[in-house]
Amino acid sequence: VQSLLKLIERSVGLGKEARRRSQRLKEKEDEQDPSEPKTTVDDTRALIRTMCAVAGAVGHRLGQEQIDQIIPIFLRFTDPEDAVTGDDEEEEEGDDEDEAMGGMEHEDDEAAIALANELRESCFMGFESFILRCPNEVEHHLEKIIQAALAYMSYDPNYAYGDDTGENEEEEEADEEDEYDDDEEDEYEEEEDEEEDDDDESWKVRRGAVRALNAVVEAKKHDPSLLWATTYTIRREKSSVVAAALVNRFKEREENCRVGVLDCFARLLSVTVTAANAGVISFASPDGMDTESTAAVVDLREKYSSKLVKACEKILSTKKGNERSKSSALSLLATLCKAPGGLGGQDDITSVFKHVETFLASGTDTAIHREGTSKALRLDALSLVYIMLSSDNHSPVDVRICLHTTLLPQLCEGVNEQWYKVIAEALRALASVPRFFVVGYSDSDDEEIRAKEREDVSVMLYNAIEPKLAAHDVDQEIKECALNATSALLSNLHSSLPTEKTTRLLTLLLDRLKNETTRIAAIKNLSAIAAASGSNAMEDNATIDLSPILADSITTMSTFLKLQSRSLKQSTLEALDIIVTNHGSHEEFKDGKLFSAVIQDITPLIVDSDLHLSHLGLQCTDSILEVCPSAGPAVKAHVLEPSLALSTSSLLQDLALDSLLAFYKQVVIANAVEFDELLSLLRQRISQDKIGKHAIYNLAKCIAIITASSGPENTKKVLNEIFEVLESKTTPDDAATLRQVQLSLLITGDLGRMSDLSADGSADRLKAIYMGKFESTSEDLKHAAAYALGNAAVGSPATFIPAIISTLEGDNKKQQYLLLSALREFIKCSARNGSDSLSANLQDLVGPLENHCADAEEGVRTMVAECFGSLTCLHPETMLPKLAALQSAHSEIVAPEGTLAEDDATSKKNALVCWTVATSVKLAIAGKVDASQLAAHMSTFVSLLNQTELNVRTAALLLVYSATHHMPQAVSGLMQDMIVPALYEVSALKLQRTVDLGPFKHNVDDAMPLRKAALSIFSTCLESLPGSLDMASFMPVLAKALGDAEDIQLHAHQIVISMCARHPSYVVNAADSFVEPLEKTLKKKTGQKTGTELERLNDWIKSALRVALTVSRVEGVMTSSQRFPEFFSRISSDEKFASKLQALAAEQ
């Protein structure tokens, strides 16, 4: 590379710079060493192309020094002032052509121009390679590269576009609603004919410049604001932002270049929408109101949307040819639909629809145009319509008007095409149409006109959809799209369809339900139709009548529950629940016979081996009982026993538990099982010898829910029975009685959560019982009492909260953990129940929690952090400033080498408080605290990374890890300045000490947890915040982690494998640095290891082999790396590793 650079440096160059350099070289010719070779014009071309080849092949291996030498040389050959256009003044044009040939006097004019264009194209290819492969090194050269690319994007010396009048002409054309006349439509064709007559290859330079700009867009995809806001000086005092310059080049006459420009802007718009969704930038609001966001603002609606639509329409208006340009224009319009504001207003939508109509129409007026339209273009046009109708960025009123007046007949005709993909896309578009004829009306529209329009549209859609739904000899994709379109039509416009047509569609839907290949799609669409009943804005009680197929559908779906397919059973249960809820009260189901058969088929699915199906089965049974109490005997006969077994399963949790509780509640309400009988059956479950602690808590919830649902009399009776058990003994001697006492405690807590027990004095009795149980010798009873106290406080806060706070402020250290546990339960239950008692007691709770932030017991501090975290999720406006102030007040920590001095009480207390605050914020983030409010205080919390005390620093790293995983937007602005530098520092930190264990000594690295946490943050950032990491700087950190402790190595192995897919160019560049640590791992000796230790070592070695194999498959590693190919060849031929590598290759 250095040799090439030295030779290229002596070359003349092009244009004005060439003349100046040529003169300087002549002056120094006498001083030149005769032994040094002279660089001729042919040599220059060869050297530039060689350098571009090097850049394309191994550009990622070039360092900053080489890049800083290469880019200025390439820029010398792409001077913006030499980018002449046909619109320049004639006298200037002549000068520019002479300058373009500067330094090439020994060749004729055509050869000189061809050589200049060839060199410039090669230089832009080099720019593209550098930007994509080493964006960080090119960053400070990017401005000049963009300037050159913008200038040469317009480099067309043999053609004049007429820039000065173009915009005015377009504005005048926008006011006309007539079609483009023939001369205007044939503009591109004439231009291409002219181009074919010339040997003008300047388009290759323009294409190279556009590709370089496309590389810039890729490099800036995480924050493309630079390309919308920064103005670049191009040439001759002309300037523009990148986005506007691309739009102005849509007029490009050469199709290869025009397609590149359209695709480049489409990609820019796509990454901008993605960045806006991530909060990096924002789009200007239509009302012009300023927002509080500090992100860069892109005014797409006012500055670009209208121009984009007009420019794309001009391309679409050509009668024949330019198919690639038309396809790219359609793709760009589809991307624009995803941005706020979409295509614009009614006029813009109508205009686009008219052009789409020409691709789809079969009438005589447009048949000539359609004949020149390929099926791929018709597919692109339909995709544009589907994306537009699916987005929410257009006014429903405007879309409805435009559909009805312009495009709908052609959409319906599109289902009669020959190619199955076009038919399927037309059906997708039709499925998006009906909703606009429900929500797409204004209050001033006449009701009669609405009804007539809906009838016309619904019949038109029916005539298009019904034949495809009835056909059997069509592609599977068409069948599924026809089902989706049927669902949309019946869900939105069923009352506008004649009864016979609705019945016909429902009958076909039932046929599809009975067909094995379409039954899952039919189930989902039948479910959607049933769920949409009564939810439409068209009529107040617009419920579709499913009676023609309802019984057959339920019976058919019930048989699916006996089949082996889990996905089929899951879809069936979800659909049955929706159908029963919305249509189960039909008169023909009152006797419960049909539902009893369904319940029998559901029963085998209620098992703890598949909790999700159990949840869906219980949910469906609950819905059946609610709409048809006469099915109660079937529930008692079939579902009761498996539900009882599930109630004491150690696996029961989450949705399955919630569904079981709702089922028992409905059983009591519907009187399917007598309360006393059900209570007795549940109580008997506690006598099982192998019942676990978790099962006792679930059983208590079941008993509490049926008690609370049965009425106040039964509640009082159950409480009296419980008081007899709890007040008889403090700590039972035998395990069975102990479980009975524990269950009784838990039941009181769950009952107290559901109702206020203070009215009859039960709350005071329970308070005395709970406090007494805190002194029990049984840990199970202590924790049960704490759980019950926290839950009962939700229903009776006035009784229990003062008792908790006063006891917590006392001197009894043994009870503090239990009281904090009760407080945590109170906070969580209040949040789940939506109780106002928490807000009323917030200030009373915060004080005692603050007093225990510096507790010496880690368990107590953890409980405080959980309470703070839950409170922060519920009241972020109060708790976040308080936590930030608490941290700031205790930020002075003196910890040389990560440890605190024994006599430094202040630093010890401050370290404990900061640890508690960091853990609290971490838990709040995991609990989904409001991200916008958290971001305002995040810099304060992240500053804990600068603390040297190990525990505080570890807690801060875990906080950052939680933020990058759950709320990356909260820390995205802090990554470069605060977080990443701290992570690099931690990654290199080692704090080793030797522990004397008597017979032998053990080396301990106290910084290993910190390095492990830092690597976890890096790994998460690669997925959620890839733009925040400098990959070139991160690769040495990753290579070092490959040689760290075992746990860190295994994590680093996963990161390398992930990067092979996400960032292969950086893996190619760093592959040689992986050799030494991987080889060291592979040379690990088994020694005398056996059992688990030997298995762990083998897994470790296998992981390293997997990394080596994955890296070897990255394109460029085996050809451009130096050490890695030899290393991989060596281990592949080693008998120890060959078989393992073959097995791993087979896995991959």
Two tokens, residue 372: 């020149």
Question: Model's pTM, two decimal places?
Answer: 0.82
Euclidean distance between the first and the last CA atom of the chain, given in angstroms as a whole number: 37
Predicted local distance difference test score (pLDDT) of residue 973: 83
Question: At which residue do the structure tokens 């014009």 appear?
Answer: 41
Predicted local distance difference test score (pLDDT) of residue 901: 85
393-416: burial string, b at 16+ Cβ within 10 Å, e else: ebbbebbbbbbbebbbbbbbebbe
Give whole-number Cα distances, 416 to 411, 830, 1049, in Å: 10, 59, 59
3 state DSSP class of 301: helix
Q: How far apart are CA 1101 and CA 853, in angstroms?
A: 44
Torsions phi, psi for 555 (to 5 deg): -65, -45
Q: How far apart are CA 950 and CA 516, in angstroms?
A: 61
Q: How far apart are CA 166 and CA 252, in angstroms?
A: 13
Q: What is the DSSP letter of 406?
A: I
Two tokens, residue 913: 């408080």
Does residue 612 contact residue 570 with C-beta atoms inside 8 Å?
yes
Give whole-number Cα distances, 980 to 279, 932, 953, 957, 1006, in Å: 20, 22, 14, 11, 21
Name which of 725, 637, 739, 625 is nearest 686 in CA terms: 739
Q: How far apart are CA 698 and CA 657, in angstroms?
A: 8
β-strands 281-283, 232-233 pairing: unpaired
CA atoms within 13 A on the CB side of 492: 24
In sequence order, the 6+-apart residues with CB closer than 8 A to the CB of 528 are 487, 491
582-603: burial string, b at 16+ Cβ within 10 Å, e else: bbbeeeebeebebbbbbbebbb
Radius of gyration of the chain (CA): 37
Q: Which helix (H) or strand (E) holds 836?
A: none
CA 1090 to chain centre: 44
Q: How far apart are CA 48 and CA 1034, in angstroms?
A: 32
Does residue 711 contact residue 700 with C-beta atoms inside 8 Å?
no
Q: What is the dihedral of CA 62, 64, 70, 74, to 10 degrees?
A: 110
- By CB atoms closer than 10 A (0-12, 13-18, 19+), residue 822 is buried
- By CB atoms closer than 10 A (0-12, 13-18, 19+), residue 1096 is exposed
Question: At which residue do the structure tokens 């030899």 appear?
Answer: 1126
Q: How far apart are CA 174 and CA 328, in angstroms?
A: 21
Does residue 10 contact residue 39 with C-beta atoms inside 8 Å?
yes
Q: How far apart are CA 481 and CA 525, in angstroms?
A: 10
Mean pLDDT by 10 residues, the chain (1148 residues): 72 52 50 52 70 67 79 85 70 45 47 80 86 83 92 84 49 42 45 50 89 92 87 82 90 89 93 84 67 67 87 83 87 91 87 86 47 76 91 88 87 88 92 90 82 90 92 91 94 89 94 93 93 54 80 94 94 94 84 91 94 96 93 94 94 94 94 93 86 92 94 91 81 83 93 86 89 89 93 90 86 84 91 77 87 90 94 92 93 86 90 95 93 90 92 94 90 88 92 80 86 93 84 89 91 92 85 92 82 86 92 87 89 87 84
Q: How far apart are CA 246 and CA 267, in angstroms?
A: 12
Predicted local distance difference test score (pLDDT) of residue 540: 40
